[in-house]
Amino acid sequence: MSVEKRPRLGVNVDHIATLRQARGTIYPDPVAAASLAELAGADQITVHLREDRRHIQDRDVLVLRETVETRLNLEMAATEEMLAFALEVRPDMVTLVPEKREEQTTEGGLDVVGQVERLGEYLEALRESGAYLSLFIDPEPEQIAASAELGVEIVELHTGDYCEAAPATTNKLRPSEFDRATELARLEEAARVAHTVGLTVAAGHGLDYKNVLDVAAIPLIEEFNIGHSIVSRASLVGFERAVAEMIEALYLGRQWGEG
Ligand code: PXP
């Protein structure tokens, strides 16, 4: 399957570490999962080193830096601690995400508009790491404009609202304030706006094997970061198969979009 015919897939291995941390064992190792993901065709490995270290540990990122053959994308909050860590580890890419201690998972995009000055200084320091810089934002034109102003290379559009509205998610029994078609159109428009100002467009959060199809059909989205659904499927069918099936879904979605 030719890579140009589908968006790139970043496999987020955080929840392999969640399973390990649940028992304080040394297995399963997210480093092993990352290797399997790459063997199955993943284009990138993504990890979120959270302030509370609930899943990924510093050691994981350090070892992944040595073993990842594709591209290592470190998701982190814009804190001084993480800045020092990124400068030491030098990942290929850094994605800044908002972080709240009490949240189950990342709940919303980064408010770039509300902290342009602070983020500008932070990104300037982070540039020393040599990493591509990405901001995880809601699919809003003003957040995209502010991100472009800060000179980052990539914006990752938060697909959470779309996923909550999508009928095929695990949230389907929960009433949703979001309408699927509206949220999809919002993502499509955001991708267009970001592309117009020269940003590479990525997307992620809450995507599964079904709801990803319509988003993969948006031709301007070049990259996806997907974790929970892949790790969940991997626990039943194996990691390589789970990754290969997501790659297949991205391929199918993109073909529909072009057809
Ligand atoms: N992208 C970003 C920026 C994230 O914070 C996360 C969750 O850690 C993901 C993608 C992956 O989300 P999910 O695990 O729901 O696929």
Pocket of ligand 1 (CB under 6 A): 12, 14, 48, 75, 95, 97, 105-106, 136, 156, 204-207, 225-229
| CA-wise closest residue to 163 among 136, 144, 189, 183 | 183
- Residues forming a β-bridge with 157: 137, 203
Give distance in angstroms: CA of 42 to centre of ligand 1.
15
Q: Is the CB of residue 124 less than 8 Å from the CB of residue 144? A: no
Ligand 1 atom nearest to CA at 163: 15
Tokens at 38, concatenated = 């790459």
pLDDT tens profile 11-46: 999 999 999 999 999 999 999 999 999 999 999 999
Q: What is the pTM of this model?
A: 0.94
Which residue segment(s) compose the domain that 119 sits in?
A: 8-258
| 75 is a catalytic site residue | yes
| Known catalytic residue at 15 | no
Whole-number pLDDT of residue 238: 97
Ligand 1 mean position to 110 CA, how many Å? 13
* Distance in Å, CA 229 to ligand 1 centroid: 10
Q: Tell me what pLDDT residue 210 has.
A: 95
Contact 33, 46 (CB under 8 A): no
The sign of the dihedral angle between the CA atoms of 85, 90, 91, 93 is positive
- Encode pLDDT of 170-182 as tens digits: 455 555 667 888 9
CATH of the domain at 30: 3.20.20.70
State yes or no: is 80 an active-site residue: no
Confidence at residue 225, expressed as pLDDT on a 0 to 100 scale? 98
Look at residue 112 and tell me if it is in a domain: yes
pLDDT band at residue 2 using 50, 70 and 90 as cut-offs = very low
Exposure on the CB side of residue 161, measured as CA atoms within 13 A: 18
Among 15, 55, 158, 205, the active-site one is 205
> Residue 205 domain-assigned?
yes
Which of 38, 75, 188, 240 is catalytic? The answer is 75
Domain tally, the chain:
1
Distance (Å) of CA 185 to CA 109, 158, 176, 188, 217 = 18, 13, 17, 5, 12
User: What per-residue confidence (pLDDT) applies to 168?
Assistant: 44
Ligand 1 atom with minimal separation from the 231 CA: 14
Confirm whether 3 is domain-assigned: no
Choose one of 138, 156, 205, 221 to mutate for the ligand 1 pocket test, by most ligand atoms within 8 angstroms of C-beta: 205
Structure tokens at 55: 């899943």
Across-strand partners of 10?
Answer: 44, 225
Asked if residue 113 is part of any domain, the answer here is yes
Closest CA to 109 of 74, 139, 82, 71: 139
Mean pLDDT of the chain: 93
Half-sphere exposure for 162 (CA within 13 Å, toward CB): 27
Catalytic residue among 48, 99, 183, 188: 48
Whose Cα sits closest to atom 5 in ligand 1?
A: 106
Identify the CA nearest to 44 among candidates 230, 255, 256, 187: 230
Position 1 in a domain? no
| CB-based contact 130:108 (threshold 8 Å) | no
**In which band, very low, low, confident or very high, does the pLDDT at 63 lie, cut at 50, 70 and 90?**
very high
